[in-house]
Each structure stands twice: as structure tokens, then as C-alpha cells.
Amino acid sequence: MAAYDRAMNAVSQIEAFGIEGLVANERAVLFPARRFEGLDCLSATFQRHIYAPHQHDTYVLGTIESGCESFTVRGIKHYARPDHITFVNPLETHDGAPHEGGYSYRMTYPSVTLMREVAASLAGGEVVGTPFFREPLVFDPHGAELFRTAHRAIEAGIDLLQGEEMLLRFYAHCLAHHADWPVAPLGREAIHVGRARELIEARYDEDLSLAEIARLSGLARHHLIRAFRRETGLTPHAYLIDARIRRARDLLCRGERPGDVAAATGFCDQAHLTRAFKARYALTPGAFRAAHLI
């Protein structure tokens, strides 16, 4: 029922965006990034659908997964292909159309407030003015991969912390590399990072949000990611997964079954535990448990 409700909600929003009457093999799914207030995400495949010239009061940032999209902004036509990142600033008129057989893409619509939050974190203080992306289209495979990972995690709804963290890292990457935004050096954040580590260690089995970890540590979300990585070598999300795996290892050594261990350590299911455990120990949880029962 929940999946049906989400699908119906997505359809109504798609109609509100004017993306309707799609032909066979076309799809468009609009879904919220629940860890960000008012942030919409779009995953779509178009072969014939053409966007009329329009504006958004948000930014439009995303990437092409396959094929090619043509779009015009600031009076110049561009052709977006895989590993390109597209940038449309607030209230810039733009359109969009399939080129050479169509395209699949992923897009987000971050508010000015959100982009100013990330910009302030990078700059180390208050933001004066609104960030501006100088080029509507750039070739940036690293940034595109950051975005795809974040977008897919948000769409799947399985690991919301991963999506939240990766999306913030993507926006910061774009501001630093494609908006000429200053990046201030990190200061002395060891105490703040220590608070974040203690929180994760104590509440590893909960569905923690980066916003909550940041608030309790005393740092802004993206600042926490940068500082945490410098102090520990891991991002908060990676550290959380590592903490869960350490607890899972202890339970498996005691003979607990993998399914029960997954539930007890905060993983969404046994498959999620298996992927994370195997990446660190080269064994499945079941094989690891069996070795300790001998």
C-alpha cells in the first residue's frame, strides 16, 4: 500500500510539472529527498517529450545517465551526455528536448536557502550574495558519479543517510569547482567530531540523519562531513556502517543468525548487511558465523 501511495503521489506531482501524456518507453518519477525540506528529485527517460521554455525559483542540478538531451539557456544550445553535469540558476529560462534518440537523466531542484547553507559551510562563515554557476554544462565524471550515487540512494529509500551525505558532497563539489566559491581551510574540530563519533557509537542501530548528528556535534552538515573525514579517514555514513559491522561481527561470533543480526544492528535487511560485511571481511555473514561455530 505504501508503494502504491508513493506512486500515486508521484503521478500527481508529475502532472503538476507538466510531464504527462508520455509515449511507450518513456517514464518520469518525481520523489522528495526527505532529509531536505522541499527538495524534489526527478528520474526520467524521454524519447519525444519536449519541455517548453520555463523557469524555476530553485536551482536545477543533475546529470545524464544515457543518451543525449539538448537544452537552451542564456540563448545558447547545449548537448548534455553521460558524465556531464547540468546547471540552471534560479529564474533562468531554459527548455529541454531529446537528441539522437532520447535520453535518461536524474535531476534535483535545490532551493537557494539550501545552496547558501552549503556555500556558507565551504566559505567558513556567512554567505553574502547567491551562488552562481557560470557554465550551464560541464564535463565532470567525478561529480556526476557523486550525484548518481546520492540520487539512487534517495530514490531507493533504503539508506537515507548515504543519500543525504552524498548529495551535500555533490553540491559542495559543484560550488567549489563550478561556481568559483571559496573553500576555507578546516580549523580545530576534533572535539565536535568526537561528539559525532560518540553519538554514532551509541546509536548505531538507529536511522540517524546527518542533520541530527551535525546539530548535536555543533557543526553544519557539510562542515561535519569535511571535518569528520579529516579526523577519521571516513565520512559519517561510512563510519556508521563500520560501527554496525563491528557490532554485527560480535553477534555473529556468538552464533546469532545473520537475519537477526541485521535487524539488531540497524541494517534494513540481511542483503544490506551481507554487502557491507563482505566488502570488509571478504566473507558473507553466514560463512563468518559458521567458521566460529566449529
CA distance 235 to 217: 14
Cβ atoms of 265 and 244 within 8 Å: the answer is: yes
Alpha carbon 35 to its chain centroid, in Å, reads 10
User: Whole-model pTM?
Assistant: 0.85
The pLDDT of residue 123: 86
How far apart, in whole angstroms, are the C-alpha atoms of residue 252 and residue 261? Answer: 7
**Closest by alpha carbon to 81, among 63, 96, 94?**
63
Q: Which residues contact 107 (CB under 8 A, 6 or more apart)?
A: 41, 42, 44, 60, 61, 62, 86
Quick one: pLDDT at residue 124?
A: 82
Domains and CATH numbers, the chain: 2-177 (2.60.120.10), 186-294 (1.10.10.60)
pLDDT in tens, the chain (294 residues): 333 333 334 434 455 455 666 777 899 999 999 899 999 999 999 999 999 999 999 999 999 999 999 999 999 999 999 999 999 999 999 999 999 989 999 999 999 999 999 999 888 877 767 899 999 999 999 999 999 999 999 999 888 899 999 999 999 999 999 997 888 888 778 999 999 999 999 999 999 999 999 999 999 999 999 999 999 999 999 999 999 999 999 999 999 999 999 999 999 999 999 999 999 998 999 999 998 887
pLDDT number for residue 9: 43
Amino acid at 21: G
Provide the β-strand partners of residue 137. Answer: 86
Length of the chain: 294
- What distance in Å separates the CA atoms of residue 37 and residue 26, rounded to the nearest whole number? 28
Helix (H), strand (E) at residue 10: helix 2-17
Residue pair 135/120 in contact by the 8 Å Cβ criterion: no
DSSP-derived 3-state class of residue 278: helix
